[in-house]
A = this chain, B = another copy of it.
Amino acid sequence: MKNFEFANPVKIIFGKGSIKKIADEISAGSKVLMTYGGGSIKRNGVYDQTVEVLKGFEFYEFGGIEPNPHYETCMKAVKLIKEKGIDFVLAVGGGSVIDATKFIVAAACYGDGDPWEILSEEAAVKKALPFGSILTISATGSEMNAGAVITRAETKDKLAFGSPFTYPKFSVLDPTVTYSLPPKQIGNGVVDAFVHVIEQYLTYSEEDTLMQDFFSESILKVLVLEGPKALEKPTDYDIRANLMWASTWALNGWIACGAAEDWATHMIGHEITAFYGLDHAQTLAIVLPGVMTVLKEQKSKKIARLGKEVFGIEGLHAVERTIQAVEDFFEKMGVKTHLSGYGLGAEVADKVSNRLKERGWILGECNNITPEIVKEILLLRV
């Protein structure tokens, strides 16, 4: 096991009817900005519940945060924060709204520099406004980590940052607010969480991380068992609760402690989203089977273990059958796993590998996935 240092201070407020509890979590007298996305929270009742609780505070709203949130949008919220003297932000939404809010609270305290530096130059975040979240989509795990991914629309740069100052103070996880999500969002969320675990688990496995491996397999098993059921029974509380909790754990940092991490699938996927606008999970479903196939030798022990523990696969061609099982699972969740499913083709391979070459990025836990190998991976996924 590698040495590590880690803390995760996020307070989780879990269960049906929990939104009202946020009143106790925000300091009295705070000026609150509520951030949200495209307005689905106005249709499913979450907006009304939140506004009801915020009545005790001076509060403002900032809606319209898009999926794969834009730097340009975030900076509008920063302006509002400065104008109104906001001192607490409440993100109400899925990963995009929470990610955007992390950047907003950091940028609002960045001082005189250009906050874009936080993303482009990994400039240190030295403080941030406090914020909390009300989660409406189980997927990214952003509700219990300090990381965010932001896109600059102008340049199609999709970049990540994280800081100890950008953990939510609290996150409300009420499974009932996910009941009204369309099947596409359920599928995307399960695929996203699945691949988060894989990035921290499916590595060359030189490290002995027995506990972390069992934990990762625990999360994957919940996703594989409960994901398809959620498509069938979207309003079953326990199914949605198990999925919500599993998605949070997929990326709250604990399973990565002491372990090697990959993240190649995400890095490649981000470029596909930036160029072609595919949903984040769609790109992961395309890329992961390719990464597993091309890196089969390096990752063989863990792929075999994944097959046995999560999919019950053993014996002849276990590695190949496990890769197929992953692809089949994504398809079962309604997420297509080939570029052609989205009207794309071999051109993606060139475009993405060229962009990675420009950036000088080599990917993967062994730092051996060159732009040429990325091209090979994507050509397998046409």
- Tell whether A40 is near chain B: CB-to-CB under 8 Å: no
Main secondary structure of the interface of A (DSSP, over half): mixed
Q: Would B4 and A16 count as touching, CB distance under 8 A?
A: no
Instruction: Note all chain B residues with C-beta closer than 8 A to A9.
Output: 7, 9
Instruction: Note all chain B residues with C-beta closer than 8 A to A225.
Output: 210
Which residues 226-251 in A have Cβ within 8 Å of B in the complex?
A: 226, 238, 241-242, 245-246, 249
Instruction: Note all chain B residues with C-beta closer than 8 A to A215.
Output: 215, 218
Instruction: Note all chain B residues with C-beta closer than 8 A to A208.
Output: 238, 241-242
Most B CB within 10 A of own CB, among A17, A170, A221, A242: A242
The residue of chain B having its C-beta at the shortest distance from the C-beta of A215 within the complex is: B218
The residue of chain B having its C-beta at the shortest distance from the C-beta of A249 within the complex is: B211
The answer to whether residues A211 and B246 also contact, given A9-B7, A218-B218, A241-B1 and a CB cut-off of 8 A, is yes
- Tell whether A109 is near chain B: CB-to-CB under 8 Å: no
Number of identical monomers bound together in the oligomeric complex = 2
Tally A residues with Cβ within 8 Å of B. Answer: 40
The residue of chain B having its C-beta at the shortest distance from the C-beta of A240 within the complex is: B1
The residue of chain B having its C-beta at the shortest distance from the C-beta of A212 within the complex is: B245
The residue of chain B having its C-beta at the shortest distance from the C-beta of A11 within the complex is: B7
- Tell whether A257 is near chain B: CB-to-CB under 8 Å: yes
Q: Within the assembled complex, what's the spacing in Å between the Cα atoms of A252 and B277?
A: 41
* New contact pairs (14) apart from A12-B257, A210-B225, CB-CB < 8 Å: A1-B242, A2-B15, A3-B16, A4-B15, A5-B13, A6-B12, A7-B9, A7-B10, A210-B242, A214-B219, A214-B221, A215-B215, A217-B218, A241-B258
Which residues of A come within 8 Å of B, CB atoms? Answer: 1-18, 21, 170, 208, 210-211, 214-215, 217-219, 221-222, 225-226, 238, 241-242, 245-246, 249, 257-258
